[in-house]
Amino acid sequence: MGAALALAGGLGIAPLIAAELLPEIEAVMVRKLNEQMEGRRND
């Protein structure tokens, strides 16, 4: 979480906004990663 907030700060995004958005972004990343892993398993 600290690294994500530092990255957001470096991009000029306010920490409160980044903290608010991170859980939703993480959920999408996990879902897409699971889809990729499932696709490789079925190959």
pLDDT for res 42: 75
- Total of domains in the chain: 1
Task: Quick: pLDDT tens for 2-41.
Answer: 888 899 999 999 999 999 999 999 999 999 999 999 988 8
Full residue range of the structural domain in which residue 16 is found: 2-41
In this structure, are residues 20 and 13 in contact, taking their beta carbons and an 8 Å threshold?
Answer: no
pTM: 0.60
pLDDT for res 35: 94
Q: Which of 31, 3, 18 is nearest to 39 (CA)?
A: 31
Q: With both helix axes pointing from N to C terminus, report the angle between 2-10 and 15-41 in degrees, rounded to the nearest 10.
A: 120
Residues contacting 7, CB < 8 A, separation 6+: none
pLDDT for res 41: 81
d(CA 10, CA 7): 5
